[in-house]
Structure 1
Amino acid sequence: MPFLDPESRELLRQALGLDRAAVPYRNHYPAAADDPIATRLASLGLLHRGEAIAGGRVIFQVTEAGARQLGATLPGPDPAR
């Protein structure tokens, strides 16, 4: 497993909602298409680069491998997406 710096770990936590809850309840992270942290995590297979949205942003989602990095499991279907 790749080593995660604090910023990468926090991005994954935010995407899963772990910055606000004890268990994952969502799986999305809107970021600029060229966001360096999200792009790096996607290249490592820890995030999936999803659909483009308004403002040049992209929806990234945590992969199973990304969730394992946090010792978490992915939530069920994301009602916000």
Structure 2
Amino acid sequence: MPSLDPEEGDAIRQALGLDRAARPYRNHYPAPGDDPVAGRLVERGLMERGAATPAGLVLFQVTEAGARQVGARLPEAEAGR
């Protein structure tokens, strides 16, 4: 699988909470439905499109393959979703 560009890696780390903690504790990345970074990650199977928020954003979620790309595992509470 091709490596992540910096924006893609940042999006996955942010979704997993790795921008604030040493271990993943969440799995959501709120972004507009047409977000180009999230769109690329969905196309590559590294994120999935989730539910829309009342604010009109989409909650993208990291897949197991996406977590592996940044050397992480999905948080236990959300791994089954």
TM-score w.r.t. the length of structure 1 is: 0.91
Q: Post-superposition, which runs of at least 4 consecutive aligned residues in structure 1 deviate over 2 A?
A: none
Which residue in the other structure is 2:34 paired with? 34
Q: Distance in 1 between matches of 2:54 and 2:43?
A: 23
Which residue in the other structure is 1:65 paired with? 65
Unaligned runs of 5+ in 1: none
Q: Alignment RMSD, CA only?
A: 0.9
- Where 2:77 maps in the other structure, the secondary structure is coil
Q: Which amino acid aligns with 1:18?
A: L
Q: Distance in 1 between matches of 2:17 and 2:38?
A: 16
Unaligned runs of 5+ in 2: none
Which residue in the other structure is 1:14 paired with? 14
Q: Distance in 2 between matches of 1:45 and 1:67?
A: 11
Residue 56 of structure 1, CA deviation: 2.4
Which residue in the other structure is 1:53 paired with? 53
Q: Distance in 2 between matches of 1:2 and 1:55?
A: 33
TM-score w.r.t. the length of structure 2 is: 0.91
